[in-house]
Amino acid sequence: MPRIHTLDFIRGLAILGILLLNIVAFGLPSAAYLNPAWQGRMPPLSDTLSWAATDLLAQVKFLSLFALLFGASLQMLLPRGKRWLQARLVWLMVFGLLHNIFLWDGDILLDYGLIGLAVWRMIRDVPSSRQLLNTGVMLYVIGSAVLLLLGLGTGSAPNSSWIPGMANVQYETFWHTQGGWQAIQGRMSQFSSSLMALAAQYGWQLAGLMMVGGALMRNGWLQGQRSLAHYRRAALFLISLSWLIQLPSLYLQWNSGWDFRRAAFFLQVPRELGAPLQAVGYAALCYGFWPTLSSLKITYAVSCVGRMALSNYLLQTLVCTTLFDRLGLFNKFDRLQLLALVPAVWAINVLFSLLWLRHFRQGPVEWLWRKLTRLSGGEPLEKSPLGG
């Protein structure tokens, strides 16, 4: 299948957009990721507005978009065969495990590789696009419903993952900034919690999104085979519907003072349900306005980021862990200040991608991933794609 340039652009948007959420995970204690009142008191207005804007526009949306594209890529790579796909996903898990242990506890690569190993067979074996789409939607809804069950089984008193005590914050700050074995232990502790969440709830959603992405690629929707008017109408409808679902939840979280049981479980569900609609709406916007977007220099730059998505994802980790952990700036900024740093990291992603792709055909980690996959999958090695 020839390269779909719109998908490169959308993938680039997803990688850049994910940083809007990850910057909080890089720069603040883990409890701050979903809870602006993580310090046990109402946050200042700037924090509240920053949280509301990112929650409505970005939280889960860009992760959902990236998962949809991952599922689409699984559909595209099916002709390469079982052995090649399995090797590719196993190596992605290896990258994710190393990333998690030695660099950052917010890794998603291991999750994608692990769930991908189960999902690619379903994408291959489900006979029709509609059935694949319906199955993906069902799995996603099951994962979202698990949040309700978890909320029903949880007491009203907040735990340390929602409102950490001073000792918890000091310890997390210590291992982030001191590094070494303490940091590895801290990241492994977070890693075990992430695996539990993947098994109980997030894995269902991730599998569902990948299947939906595979279905949209198979039926031509993600190949741009609909009219511009169709994509524009779809974008307007899906994004509007998503906001209608989510806005009441945002107000209720704020109104409750981010009450643990309601805000951590029940009021998360509207966002979880609206996010895939909004993610597909973002993709529809790109396709609907591609004739205009394709002529812009910024579109080419973002597309280059998308062509090197894995390298740029890891580059964001290197930049942000250097800034917050190595330079000791962890827990020194509020939400709005952290968001103000995001454009600088975006600029690094864009400049790195533009300069690298002037000389090479793919990103450095993409090249390594492909080479390891070929060695493991038994395919003959071609001339290095890093060759100019």
Least confident of 141-150, 193-202, 224-233, 346-355: 193-202
- C-alpha–C-alpha distance, residues 292 and 298, integer Å: 12
- pLDDT score at 154: 86
- C-alpha–C-alpha distance, residues 239 and 258, integer Å: 25
- pLDDT score at 387: 37
Counting every residue, how long is the chain?
A: 388
Cα–Cα nearest to 211, from 1, 68, 25, 51: 68
Q: Is the pLDDT of residue 385 over 50?
A: no
- C-alpha–C-alpha distance, residues 241 and 56, integer Å: 12
Going by the DSSP 8-state scheme, the letter that residue 268 receives in this structure is G
- pLDDT score at 322: 97
Please answer whether residues 209 and 122 qualify as being in contact, where contact means their C-beta atoms are separated by less than 8 angstroms.
no
- C-alpha–C-alpha distance, residues 33 and 40, integer Å: 14
Q: What tens digit of pLDDT does each residue of 34-48 get?
A: 999 999 999 999 999
Average pLDDT on 138-151 reads 94
- pLDDT score at 153: 87
Q: Is the pLDDT of residue 192 over 90?
A: no
Amino acid letter for position 303? S
Average pLDDT on 332-357 reads 97
- pLDDT score at 388: 30
Q: What tens digit of pLDDT does each residue of 303-315 get?
A: 999 999 999 999 9
Average pLDDT on 330-341 reads 96
Percent of the chain at pLDDT > 70 equals 96
pTM for the model stands at 0.94
Q: What tens digit of pLDDT does each residue of 148-158 get?
A: 999 998 888 88
Q: What tens digit of pLDDT does each residue of 55-69 get?
A: 999 999 999 999 999
- pLDDT score at 378: 52
- pLDDT score at 376: 87
- C-alpha–C-alpha distance, residues 122 and 214, integer Å: 10
Q: Is the pLDDT of residue 284 over 50?
A: yes
Q: Is the pLDDT of residue 379 over 70?
A: no
Q: Is the pLDDT of residue 382 over 60?
A: no
Model confidence at 194, pLDDT cuts 50, 70, 90, reads confident
Q: What tens digit of pLDDT does each residue of 215-240 get?
A: 999 999 999 999 999 999 999 999 99
- C-alpha–C-alpha distance, residues 230 and 212, integer Å: 19
- C-alpha–C-alpha distance, residues 213 and 196, integer Å: 25
Q: Give, in order, the Cα–Cα distances in Å from 159 to each of 164, 217, 261, 264, 382.
A: 7, 42, 10, 11, 53
- pLDDT score at 134: 97
- pLDDT score at 380: 46
Instruction: Tell me whether residue 2 is exposed, middle or buried, using C-beta atoms within 10 angstroms of its C-beta: 0 to 12, 13 to 18, 19 or more.
Output: exposed
Q: Which residues have a Cβ under 8 Å from the Cβ of 195 and sit 6 or more positions away?
A: none
Instruction: Tell me whether residue 241 is exposed, middle or buried, using C-beta atoms within 10 angstroms of its C-beta: 0 to 12, 13 to 18, 19 or more.
Output: middle
Average pLDDT on 1-9 reads 86
Mean pLDDT estimate for the chain: 94
Least confident of 181-190, 243-252, 273-282, 306-315: 181-190
Model confidence at 384, pLDDT cuts 50, 70, 90, reads very low
Percent of the chain at pLDDT > 90 equals 89
Please answer whether residues 374 and 85 qualify as being in contact, where contact means their C-beta atoms are separated by less than 8 angstroms.
no
Q: Which residues have a Cβ under 8 Å from the Cβ of 387 and sit 6 or more positions away?
A: 360
